[in-house]
Structure 1
Amino acid sequence: MKRTIAVIAGGDSSELPVSLRSAETIYAAIDKEKYQVYTVEMQGLRWEVRLPDGSVAPIERNDFSFVHNEQRVTFDFAYITIHGTPGENGILQGYLEMLQIPHSCCGVLPAALTFNKFACNQYLKGFGIRVAESLMLREGFEILDEEVVSKVGLPCFIKPNQGGSSFGITKVKTVEQIQPAIEAAFGESSEVIIEAFVPGREITCGCYKTKKNEVVLPLTEIVSKNEYFDYEAKYNGASEEITPAPIPEELAERIQLLTSAVYDILGCSGIIRIDYIVTSDNKINLLEINTTPGMTQASLVPQQVRAAGLELKNVLTEIIEDKF
């Protein structure tokens, strides 16, 4: 009998459209000969499953089930592809774990920690991992321009502490830009990071592990046509993404080893992607960790999977079967 899989998409952040596109890729790739697959869209209290005839049915939140053809359907596994809250910050993970429904992502603590960029980077700093100098502001707190300049310098990045897809990020070059950038970041999150600019090459690495297998994917170098790897660069072609990254083999191996180590330090599960800046003297600086990375056709992980000579269908099967 086929297992029933929910591909959960949507969410309550600006990343909802990206999440829906990721869900399309994942839904298309999951092996339909092995699994019965449904897409579940969540936005606020609207939880709906898409039925084969194109209609939708409400999800019963008490047990994450729905009724189709007068039969109640429950899920054996959930593939989480919500970027942002509640799918990337541990909230959905906790709900599913209470219902004893296996899922594709890490547990509550690693999800919550990695979603909080400042807390995660400070935590990893304790393991000797290089991260940029940064400050964190909570809503209602203010900071003087002079403090920003003295503590992190200019240029710097001001961005939401909890969010993705480069929404609300500003590369700040002048003192006059600081306060408007903070205001823009607060539009996406109740916490804001002010982070020192680290010049270098942007490299990203995907990874997944199961009980039987460990795969660190080929690296990608991102060469943005814009000031940085913003939304336009990520999803509308304003960047060159080179996979495998054209860097020395020894450096590539160091980045892959670091990715694998961070995966284990945090207790990750399923596919993750870690972004780095590599300076001119080959020092590796961790930017952030994505525990539910984008999976659209334009996203980096699917590119890396193809470069590794793997089929996304088989990768997803590995991840699903690992939980049984």
Structure 2
Amino acid sequence: MRKNIAIIMGGYSSEYKISLKSGNVVYDYLDKKKFNGYRIHIFREKWVYVDDDAIEHHVNRHDFSIMIHGQTIRFDCVFNAIHGTPGEDGLMQAYFELLGLPQTSCDYYQAALTFNKRDLLSVLRPYGIKAAKSYYLNLGDPIDKDKIIATVGLPCFVKANRAGSSFGISKVYKKEALETAIELAFKEDSEILIEAFLEGTEVSVGVITYKGETKVLPITEIVTENDFFDYEAKYEGKSQEITPARITKVQEEKVSEIAKRAYEILKMKGYTRSEFIFVDEVPYMLEMNTTPGLTTESILPQQAQKGGIGLSELFESAVEEALK
């Protein structure tokens, strides 16, 4: 009997459009012989199932069921394709945990931790996983520009702490530009991370649970035409994503080992994609994404395909692991 799979997409953040694309790719590639896929749009104003005729059906939030033509449909598993809140920060994971409903991403604690860049890097630092020098700001804190520059130097990156897809991020070269960058970041989040600029090769490392084992996918090198890997570079063709990365065997082994170790230290499940920059052969972690992009052009699906895993296999494995 085919399993009913709710593919959740959308979300409450600036990333909702990208999430809708990811969710639709999952819907298209999920094996129709094994699974009944249901596209569930999660927005602040509504949770709805959208059928193939674009008709919306209300989602009952008490048990996460839907009703179609008088028949109640319940789900065997949830495929999480929401980037940003509430799908990547632990809220949906906790909700499904309370309902006893399996879902494909990591558990709620791991999602909340990794979504918070500051906390993630702080937790991993004692394990020898390096990160850039940083300075923290919360909304309402006094802004001491001289202290910030003394800590992280110039140029530096000003980032929204809990946001993805490079929303709310700026590269700052001059003291005078700090305030504007901070204001931009605060539009996305009430917490800010200001980091030292690291000069080196940027790579993205996918780690997944596949057929019961932790698997590191072929590594992607990020080469951007812009000043850094911003939204335009990520989604509007202003970058090259080269898989496998043009790095040495030693670099490949180092960053693969660190990415896998971080996955296992945090007791992760599902998909992760971690970003690193090599400085003098040493990989420095920038962040870890737990619901990475899943469009056909996205990095993790590219890596999987280079590793001999097609999209249907990739998505089926995530469902099967969740159902275990």
TM-score bracket for this pair, using the shorter chain length: over 0.9
2:311 paired residue number = 312
Pairwise CA distance, 1:172: 0.4
Deviation at 1:257?
1.3
SS of match in other structure, 1:207: strand
Q: How far off is 1:323 after superposition?
A: 2.4
1:301 maps onto 2:305 in alignment: no
Q: How far does the alpha carbon of each residue in 1:11-65 deviate from its partner, in whole angstroms, 9 at most, with x for none?
A: 1110011111111111111111100001101111410111233211010000001
User: Equivalent residue of 2:215, what SS?
Assistant: strand
Equivalent residue runs for 1:29-178 within 5 Å: 29-178=29-178
2:211/2:317 contact within 8 Å kept: no
Which is further off, 177-186 or 20-29? 20-29
| 2:247 partner SS | coil
Give distance in 1, aligned partners of 2:272 and 2:227.
25
Mapping of residues 151-230 of structure 1, within 5 Å: 151-210=151-210, 212-230=212-230
Distance in 1 (CA, whole Å) between partners of 2:9 and 2:212 is: 28
For residues 277 and 249 of structure 2, the distance between their equivalents in structure 1, rounded to whole angstroms, comes to: 17
The separation in 1 between residues aligned to 2:288 and 2:240, in whole angstroms, is 21
Amino acid at match of 2:222: I
Alignment partner of 2:135: what SS?
A: strand
Mapped to 2, the partners of 1:319 and 1:234 lie a distance apart of: 24
Is contact 2:204–2:276 with CA below 8 Å preserved after alignment? Answer: yes
CA contact (8 A) 2:104 2:321 kept: no
In 1, Cα distance between equivalents of 2:23 and 2:86: 15
Q: What is the aligned length?
A: 323
Q: Give unpaired runs (5+ residues) of structure 2.
A: none
Moved over 4 A (4+): none
Q: Write the distance in 2 (CA, Å) between the matches of 1:36 and 1:26.
A: 12
- 1:191 Cα deviation after fit: 0.5
The Cα offsets for residues 244-281 of structure 1, whole Å up to 9 and x where unpaired, read as 001112211221111111101111111110000012x2
* 1:116-152, Cα deviation, whole Å (9 max, x unpaired): 0001101111111100111111111122110111111
* TM superposition score normalised by structure 1: 0.98
- Which residue identity does 1:6 align to in structure 2? A
2: CA distance, partners of 1:249 / 1:173 = 34
How far apart are the structure 2 equivalents of 1:259 and 1:65?
A: 37
In 2, distance between residues paired with 1:189 and 1:214? 32
Distance 2:89 2:302 in 1: 25
Match of 1:273 in 2: 273
Partner residue in 1 for 2:15: 15
Any stretches of 5+ residues in structure 1 without a counterpart? none
Structure-2 change in CA distance of 1:242 and 1:211 (3 Å): closer
C-alpha distance in 2, partners of 1:102/1:90?
A: 14
State how far apart, in whole Å, the 2-side matches of 1:43 and 1:108 are: 19
TM-superposition CA deviations, 1:148-167 (whole Å, max 9, x none): 11111110000100000001
The letter of the residue matching 2:272 is I
Correspondence for 1:291: 290
Distance (Å, rounded) in 1 between the aligned partners of 2:117 and 2:162: 7
Which whole-Å CA distance do the structure 2 matches of 1:287 and 1:52 have between them? Answer: 39
Query: How far apart in 1 are the matches of 2:205 and 2:264?
Result: 15
